[in-house]
Amino acid sequence: MKYLWISVICCVILTEISRCQAANLTFPSNFSIGAATASYQIEGAWNTSDKGENVWDWFTHNYPDSIADGSNGDVACDSYNQYEVDVALLKNMGVDFYRFSISWSRVLPNGFANEVSEDGIQYYKNLSQLLIANDIEPVVTLYHWDHPEILEELGGWTNELMVTWYADYARIIFEELGPYVKRFITINEPTSYCLNGYNATRFAPAKILENMGHYICIHNTLKAHATAYHIYDDEFRATQNGEVGLVAYCRGWVSGDNVTDETIEQYFLFNCGWVVHPIFAGDYPEIMKTRIANISALEGYPFSRLPEFSDDWVEYINGTADFFGLNYYTSRLPVFDSDEDLGIYTIDSGVIENVNSSWSVGASDWLYVVPEGLGNLLQMIRDTYSNPPVWIMENGYSDEGESDDYDRISYYYDHLSVVLSAINDDGCNIEGYTIWSLLDNFEWADGYTKLFGVHQVDFDSSNRTRSTKLSATWWQDVLSTRELQAVPTANSTRR
């Protein structure tokens, strides 16, 4: 009997050790955690100093009915005037870095490099210097969807000249902010503004262009990104020693009815590979080129709606990233479109995105909470692109502005658990994670009706007073201990 109890005790001890090892909640020593915002969503000061009009200024002013609450970013969080308050919030949380974006029209009021705003440049220098003084690394996004309106009137991202105009802008940012910034993001989520802005009317500039505007938009965006990367490589890297990459929005997936390895691969390549494949593997995925060419022919076009890169451009774009920038929020159940069995081709990808009715969903109707899908996505990136260093540059949860935001904390906990498992168990090379968002802010077509912030903003107050949500307090504990903390309950005492 004695030996039986010894065996039981040993079994219990070994089980607990195994559980601890499987649930390692400590972040690696070199793992960075930060918070993010974007210029149009928080800055306000839309016509302060000599700032020019951007596409979102124009869109929200001319088509307010396109925004859920008829609002705009004219004042937003007033971070142009309140950036010192924002830095204090970041310092209190204990983040390693702050990802913010540059307003192209604040730096180049008329869109072109012949007129540079000293006030605009100085604002971003002041912000960068204050972050550094508080031991917070500035991470800069050059373009987060708000290009000058004059450039849109000239065709925007459907005009190949945009590549040159963007490159001129990028060179100025590298020159002026490079001494302070060691991580640049050229462009944020090309699929979001290309699909929603050039093949739909949800985002500025709200153009539907013959089911090909989004493909032309991505084509020129990738050329612009690569050109900016090479400018940094050739002119600034030797003295600034920074890194440059692009951030893609990618959805994950999980198993379910009719979800197969084939549907998963096709979904990944159309959803994520469209943008990252030319950078990490050279050219668009073959399945994209083949399917879109074939469907275009069936539609009577004498060309593929997906533009073709020349051999020179394929070589020029390939390898233009020092890290894999990833924005992740949600996942789907990808299944083949059964209409294709009848010879009906309505979706270029051939994949339908299903959801499971049991999944919980945030305030945004597209944001189903599926942490497992992030793990699947990270493994696919590892296997497809030779395990590049991954920086998760956005991850977050929307609600309606609750200060005791338990669901948001639960979302963070579950997704960070997956990230740690991907690092410790799956060998994924993940170097950083970014909270979206530091503040409640203007959420594009949703206006101020859906909110992602870990800090509340009083949009009725003249100075946009900030207040701390429970999630910011939770993050403070996570960052001070460098360990994932338990999700508090409603009965927990709030500090």
Catalytic residue of the set 394, 400, 431, 483: 394
Q: List strand residue ranges (DSSP E) for 121-219, in order.
A: 137-143, 183-188, 199-200, 207-208
Specify the length of the chain in residues. 495
Longest dimension (CA), the chain: 88
Tokens read off for 480: 């001070």
The rounded distance, in Å, linking the Cα atoms of 86 and 73 is 17
Alpha-helix residue ranges (DSSP H) falling in 318-433: 371-384, 406-424
**CB-neighbour burial class of residue 286 (10 A; exposed 0-12, middle 13-18, buried 19+):** exposed
**Residues paired with residue 271 on neighbouring β-strands, in sequence order:** none
- DSSP conformation letters of 28-47: PTT-EEEEE--HHHH---TT
Neighbours of 235 (CB within 10 A): 14
Tokens 């949380």 label which residue?
93
CA torsion 213-219-220-222 (nearest 10°) is: 140
What is the DSSP pairing of strand 97-101 with strand 331-336? unpaired
Active site residue 235: no
Asked if the bond preceding 398 is cis, omega within 30° of 0, the reply is: no
Radius of gyration for the chain, computed over Cα atoms and rounded to the nearest angstrom: 23
Active site residue 160: no
Q: List strand residue ranges (DSSP E) for 133-273, in order.
A: 137-143, 183-188, 199-200, 207-208, 243-249, 252-253
- ∠ CA(162), CA(152), CA(116), 5° rounding? 70
Residue type, 448: Y
The rounded distance, in Å, linking the Cα atoms of 38 and 148 is 15
What DSSP character marks residue 428?
Answer: -
Tokens read off for 148: 């000058």
**Residues paired with residue 148 on neighbouring β-strands, in sequence order:** 54
The rounded distance, in Å, linking the Cα atoms of 340 and 342 is 5
Alpha-helix residue ranges (DSSP H) falling in 98-145: 104-107, 118-133
Catalytic residue of the set 189, 235, 262, 483: 189
* Cβ–Cβ under 8 Å, residues 180 and 100: no
CA nearest to 185, candidates 270, 247, 276: 247
The rounded distance, in Å, linking the Cα atoms of 145 and 138 is 20
Q: What are phi and psi of 147, to 5 degrees?
A: -75, 160
The rounded distance, in Å, linking the Cα atoms of 428 and 183 is 21
Active site residues: 189, 394
